Amino acid sequence: MIVNVKDLGAKGDGVSDDTAALNAAIKQGCGKMSVLYFPAGTYLVSGRLGGHGKSFFWSYLQGAGRDQTIIKLKDNCPGYQDAKNPLWLMSNLEDQPACKCWVNKASGCNMAFDVQLNDFTLDTGKGNPGAIGLHYICNNTGGIKNLTIRSGDGQGVAGIDMRHPWPGPSLIKGVSISGFDYGLWIKHQSYHDTFEDITLENQNVAGILNQQHPISIRRLVSRNQVPAIINDKPEGQVVLIDAELTGGKAGTCAIINRGSLYLRSCTTTGYQAVVEHQGTVLPETTVDEWFSQEWGSLSPTAKRSLNLPIKDTPELPYDPLDQWESVGKHADKKSGDDWGPAIQAAIDAGKSTVYFPRLDQGGYLIKSQVIVRGAVRVIQGCGAAIKPDGKALAGKAAFRIDQGTPDTVFFEKFTWENGEQNHIEHAARVLVMQQCRWQRIITAAGCGDLFVDCWGGSGTFTVPQKVYARALNMEAGGPPKLINQAADLWVLGLKTEGDATNIRNLAGGRVEVLGGLIYPAGGKLERVPGFINEGGAMSVITTTLWANKTAFQEVVGGQTRAIPDSGRFWSYVFIPDGEKPFQK
């Protein structure tokens, strides 16, 4: 379902008050796998959007571009004058304390599954010192992409407020925040959030205030006289790579750390130093690599991260609508309740995008394998559920990525059901999976690079390839969630649940995990290691809650050793002889 806010009365002319119309659109779309579309325009508001007794989840708020769609708070707006009692411009959460939680209805937490905000600007105007740009959390899949959040005069409490229980996992990418006391204000030990391509400027107190939360950040640009990051609590962990922290005031450090901190390839200008750690100023103004913790290890090895090469995720293309083919158009080709033939017919129709209309009941049952081939390059789920029938498929994956004209194939916005059944066989080309949940991937000879963004699933990587995972969320039980036999697996932000081993890395594999939360939440904690490394190259930095009793198990040279649970922070490294050393 697509809801155009102008169809519900919003003007977007920069003069009319669109508060009521926008809230009506949010209320209509939330919780329904809907897309709420904001056409180009300036939407003037005089009060909060969202947060009126119902959180919006399984919803996508889509603008026409951050320079084209602007949601602006009126200047000197009543209700936004008290910084001690701040009020947001937009929130995807319910009012406190009325909000509900699936664990404890009195705890004030939210189920904020699969919330995505893309391509618009939030402007808190001038004369609003009590304003918060965005009050936000997301769980499992979802995030923010290509947003600008700005204060017209620099006043305001926070650009993004993530203090509500419990943020993450989500992927926040391509976000620019200007003004406010804090650009980002984050709290809580659970779960984990991943940030990439973040720009912070002209904050009054700090670019980021992190209190207890584990976060991973790549490519942070901060233009501030104040600290770029304050990691304020001993339970918090910040992993920061490829950062440029500029404009610092003399005598100020770019990062104030009172928790766990990992830095790599970070430069500063103007600041006294990169880091003040536990009250001690470390004199360097540039850091190649630095870790506040001791690396965990069981064998003689270099004490550093693997520093695997990184590639950016390819951009999802949006082709003209005449290149979109509906699976529903081919429903007459179903074989009984098997949607496989209909999906195959849509793929073979010759269009570049195949999309799945929302079904009134259930999902798309697949009993016969679908081959992704020909001209198609985007498989757009629109929130659809895929239900492979493992017995009928007889061991085959529901989809096989085969040869075709485009070099890259994209899957976006799917929920995959039926447990340990193989959902995707990656046998050719580059594959990009975005906003997909509960999916199992297997690989075959001939596959290209694999990119998974804000992806919840499991898999087995049996052939040499490059795998790039951002905001990886694994909640499978049974055998290890990921088995890596031969791939280079790079992970920026990991969150896990369930009692299975998270990653089993064999001698032909290389694994680098840059931040996360290991959260088994019961089960076989006494006898199942969190990670297993059997002679491959591996470096892991993460946090834990309710952890496995054995954090890491290592099998090297025929000997099995273990690192026990060490509390909040886990780390491990094993780099075989001959592995390339760390470089800038």
Q: SS3 letters for 240-273?
A: EEEEEEECCCCCCEEEEECCEEEEEEEEECCCCE
> In 364-509, where do the E strands start and end?
364-366, 370-374, 378-388, 399-404, 408-416, 424-426, 429-443, 447-461, 466-474, 482-484, 488-497, 503-506
Q: Is the distance from CB of 238 to CB of 256 less than 8 angstroms?
A: no
Whole-angstrom Cα distance, residue 452 to residue 432?
Answer: 6
**pLDDT tens by residue, 73-84:** 999 999 999 999
Q: In the beta sheet, which residues pair with residue 561?
A: 554
In this structure, the dihedral spanned by the alpha carbons of residues 288, 290, 294 and 299, taken in order and rounded to 10 degrees, is -10
pTM of the model: 0.95
- Give the chain's count of helices (H) and strands (E): 3, 43
* Of 463, 456, 499, 468, the residue nearest 484 (C-alpha): 463
pLDDT in the model for residue 471? 97
pLDDT in the model for residue 102? 33
Whole-angstrom Cα distance, residue 137 to residue 346?
Answer: 36
> In 74-228, where do the E strands start and end?
87-91, 113-123, 131-135, 139-150, 158-162, 171-178, 182-187, 193-201, 206-211, 214-223
Q: What domains lie within the chain, and their CATH numbers?
A: 2-204 (2.160.20.10), 220-292 (no CATH), 326-430 (no CATH), 464-577 (no CATH)
Whole-angstrom Cα distance, residue 538 to residue 307?
Answer: 10
* Of 392, 409, 395, the residue nearest 341 (C-alpha): 392
pLDDT in the model for residue 165? 84
Whole-angstrom Cα distance, residue 123 to residue 69?
Answer: 11
Neighbours of 273 (CB within 10 A): 20
pLDDT in the model for residue 138? 86
Q: Do strands 237-246 and 364-366 pair parallel, antiparallel, or not at all (unpaired)?
A: unpaired
- Widest CA span in the chain: 73
pLDDT in the model for residue 418? 67
3: helix, strand or coil: strand
Q: What are phi and psi of 131, to 5 degrees?
A: -85, 140
Q: Is the distance from CB of 223 to CB of 200 less than 8 angstroms?
A: yes
Tokens of 577: 């002889």
| Peptide bond connecting 166 to the previous residue in cis, omega within 30 degrees of 0 | yes
Q: Per-residue confidence of the chain (584 residues) as pLDDT tens digits?
A: 678 999 999 999 999 999 999 999 888 876 666 789 999 999 999 999 987 555 555 678 999 999 999 999 999 999 999 999 999 999 987 654 334 433 333 344 546 778 899 999 999 999 999 999 999 988 888 899 999 999 999 999 999 999 988 888 999 999 999 999 999 999 999 899 999 999 999 999 999 999 999 999 999 999 999 999 999 999 999 999 999 999 999 999 999 999 999 999 999 999 999 999 999 999 999 999 999 999 999 988 989 999 999 999 999 999 999 999 999 999 999 999 999 999 999 999 999 999 999 887 779 999 999 999 999 999 999 888 899 999 999 999 999 999 999 999 999 989 888 666 889 999 999 999 999 888 899 999 999 999 999 988 899 999 999 999 999 999 877 789 999 999 999 999 999 988 889 999 999 999 999 999 998 866 667 778 999 999 999 999 999 988 888 999 999 888 999 999 989 999 999 998 766 544 43
pLDDT in the model for residue 507? 93
